Amino acid sequence: MNSKALDELIVDGKDGFKVHRSIYTDEEIFQLEMEHIFEKSWVYVAHESQIKHHGDYFSTTIGRQPIFVVRLSNGEIAGHLNACAHRASMLVPLESGNAKAIRCRFHGWTFHLNGQCLVVKNEDTGAYSNQNFKQENVLTPLPKLQSYRGFIFASLSSEVPSLEDWLCGTKDWIDCLVDQSPEGLEIVKGSSTYTLFGNWKLQAENGVDGYHVSTVHRVFASTIANREGKHQLKDLGQTEAGRITGQVPSGSYDFGHGHMGIWTERSKPQAHPLWLEKERIDREFSQEKAQWMLFRTRNLFMFPNAFLMDNPSTQIRTMRPLSANVCEVTVRCIAPVGESVQARSARLRKFEDFYLTTGMATSDDLAALESVQEGGRASLAPWNHFARGVGAVHHKGEGELMMSEHAPEHTTQNWDHEVIYHGFYRTWRSLIQKGLTA
Amino acid sequence: MNHNSALSLAQDLIFLEAEHLDQKNWDAWLDLYTEDAVFWMPTWINESQTTTQPETELNLLYLKGRSHLEDRIYRLKTDDSFASVPSARTVHLVSNVRLAQTEESHLTVKANWMVHSYGIHGALNRGGYYDYKLRKINGELKIAFKKVTMIDDKLIGPVDVFHV
């Protein structure tokens, strides 16, 4: 694949915006994505509440590479490749746990949590030629590791913009969630992982696809309407479904750097667990910010691998692409620390209703995306179209903007406009182009 | 009721439930449950433990009251769920049924299960444990509580009440 061939996979001009279906199935493109996007950009790795105490670790991947993050005794967070400096055995065998030092299970080398090599087993009889053997065999730290308000991001390349610049306007939407509790957010105990037999970009598109909601999820809306018609449910017992049936104002944001967002007004704001905190929110934040927190749902895609959602419930969803045709997806509930049992319970029940492959909506998304992956083999008609909203774009500085100085690249006033994907695919293309021409 | 007759009644009910699910006799399946029945399937929190506090921790399924089971059936019957058309064929194999406790009002029963399903992903096998509380109502046993521990973690395809 050369730069010109890559360029031809996206048609971005007067004739509309099209992407070639091979980008979802071609393994060569997949390897380029891993090398030049996932392994060269900031990616979300974990939430700080998952490694609260000294020695708590969490292991995951960045692109194709196993890594872990760990809480040091001074409260700071370190991150390393999850591979022994010696002969690459994975150092942390579990997804999460606690260790005060890390001993490799293969040859017994032991490392400080900061990566320093403490013990080379039988070093004295090793006949090593180098006196400084241990000093030269430290764990490889992640070149970049930084938190934004509890969300830990890392990069396998140090050649990245500052995290603040990278996140740009998404920070406002992250703040709208973090500020729901004075104590910040936490990952609720439990998670679910599913295998999508489809390309990771289909998942990336789907989480901010307002357009599919009124078809794929109308069955969810009708199920909820049936439930609420039969039973007298009030306030937190109700479920936000107005956005599904398209009864509320909505919009889309292209934040730049491939980050995308969609929002809708809430048809039943009193059904949201945050409603119990309305008085405090109104007191502590500007009217505009309180409006975003209490009265709007927000789906945020943090390029390239994570979603942060605040709609009927709240979740963080991460993607681990395994090949062009397979992506592992993990969903976790993220919630305000210290909220009442009543609010937490309502938040979780709405989460379970919708967001899981055992639920009544994510299961339908999964089936739809796998159907797209299968349908995408119909290469005789090679293009997917993202045309909705082309004539309704507000460029930077026009129309409704976010509440801070972080103006998005463009916005539209309908969440089903597909123009948000233009920014995603332009970033996708430019990062691979940069790698190909480096 | 002696141990053997209690075990036999419990087993009959659990096997009948399996049959209703496999045959997609949805209304007959719902009839096996009490009004206030709880159907619970926890998530895994690590390699060896599941969530234990369903109210405040994440579950795969936590359906409190038969009406929530009815929601699932309502959705299946619409034929409008992408995940459910086409629907997988399933066969439940339930074994190792044992009586944990016999009381005047209810039986506590444990069992193991495997469900072989065949659908859009081809053949899939999932398995785990059941914990039941069966309540005696007018001389008849009904399911008042069912906990499904599914040992499979990274899930393939949709998993609905009839897949487990």
Q: Does the predicted model carry a pTM greater than 0.90?
A: yes
- CB of B57 within 8 Å of a chain A CB? The answer is yes
Do the Cβ atoms of B75 and A223 come closer than 8 Å? yes
Residues 157..196 of A with a Cβ closer than 8 Å to B: which? Answer: 188-195
CA distance A214 to B164: 29
Q: How far is A137 from chain B (nearest CA, A)?
A: 31
**Could you give the C-alpha distances from A389 to A204, A215, A262, A412, B91, in angstroms and in order?**
19, 18, 13, 7, 47
Q: How far is B77 from chain A (nearest CA, A)?
A: 10
Size of interface A-B (CB pairs under 8 A): 120
Residues 286..305 of A with a Cβ closer than 8 Å to B: which? Answer: none
Per-residue confidence band for B2, with pLDDT thresholds at 50, 70 and 90: confident
- CB of B30 within 8 Å of a chain A CB? The answer is no
Residues of chain A contacting B153 with CB distance shorter than 8 Å = 193
Residues of chain B contacting A365 with CB distance shorter than 8 Å = 82
Per-residue confidence band for B46, with pLDDT thresholds at 50, 70 and 90: very high
CA distance A327 to B11: 40
**Could you give the C-alpha distances from A346 to A186, A211, A296, A326, in angstroms and in order?**
16, 27, 18, 33
- Is the ipTM value over 0.95, yes or no? yes
Residues of chain A contacting B41 with CB distance shorter than 8 Å = 358
Do the Cβ atoms of A78 and A141 come closer than 8 Å? yes
What is the reported pLDDT for A130? 84
Residues of chain B contacting A366 with CB distance shorter than 8 Å = 83, 157-158
Per-residue confidence band for B26, with pLDDT thresholds at 50, 70 and 90: very high
Q: How far is A308 from chain B (nearest CA, A)?
A: 17
Do the Cβ atoms of A409 and A401 come closer than 8 Å? no
pLDDT per residue as tens digits for the range B55-83: 999 999 999 999 999 999 999 999 999 99
Q: How far is A342 from chain B (nearest CA, A)?
A: 9
What is the reported pLDDT for A240? 84
The verdict on a CB contact (< 8 Å) between A195 and B59 is: no
Length of chain A in terms of residues written: 438
CA distance A45 to A306: 9
Closest CA to A337 of A185, A172, A148, A131: A185
CA distance B8 to B6: 5
The verdict on a CB contact (< 8 Å) between B82 and A356 is: no
- Residue A307 in tokens: 């979603």
The residue assigned the tokens 């749902």 is A297
- Residue A342 in tokens: 């009543």
What is the reported pLDDT for A409? 81
Residues of chain A contacting B55 with CB distance shorter than 8 Å = 341, 344-345, 348
- CB of A222 within 8 Å of a chain B CB? The answer is yes
Per-residue pLDDT of chain A (438 residues; tens, 9 = 90+): 899 999 999 999 877 899 999 999 999 999 999 999 999 999 999 999 999 999 999 999 999 999 999 999 999 999 999 999 999 999 998 999 999 999 999 999 999 999 999 999 999 999 998 888 898 899 999 999 999 999 999 999 999 999 999 999 999 999 999 999 999 999 999 999 999 999 999 999 999 999 999 999 999 999 999 999 998 888 999 998 888 888 899 999 999 999 999 999 999 999 999 999 999 999 999 998 999 999 999 999 999 999 999 999 999 999 999 999 999 999 999 999 999 999 999 999 999 999 999 999 999 999 999 999 999 999 899 999 999 998 888 877 665 555 556 677 888 889 999 999 999 999 999 999 999 998
Residues 58..97 of B with a Cβ closer than 8 Å to A: which? Answer: 58-62, 67-68, 71-72, 74-75, 78, 80-83
What is the reported pLDDT for A241? 84
Do the Cβ atoms of A133 and A91 come closer than 8 Å? no
Q: How far is B159 from chain A (nearest CA, A)?
A: 5
Q: In this structure, are strands A144-148 and A306-310 parallel, antiparallel, or unpaired?
A: unpaired
Residues of chain B contacting A322 with CB distance shorter than 8 Å = none
Which one of B55, B74, B157 has the shortest CB-CB distance to A341? B55
CB burial string A80-105: b at 16+ within 10 A, e below:
bbbbbbeeeebbbeebbbebeebbbe
Amino acid identity of residue A237, one-letter, is G
Amino acid identity of residue A191, one-letter, is S
Return left, alpha or beta for A246; rule: phi > 0 is left, psi -120 to 50 is alpha, else beta: left
Mean pLDDT over each residue of chain B, to the nearest integer: 97
The verdict on a CB contact (< 8 Å) between A231 and B67 is: yes
Closest Cα in chain A to B73: A223
Give the mean pLDDT of B105-120. Answer: 97
Q: How far is A385 from chain B (nearest CA, A)?
A: 22
What is the reported pLDDT for A399? 57
Closest Cα in chain A to B44: A190
What is the reported pLDDT for A403? 54
Residues of chain B contacting A357 with CB distance shorter than 8 Å = 155, 157-159
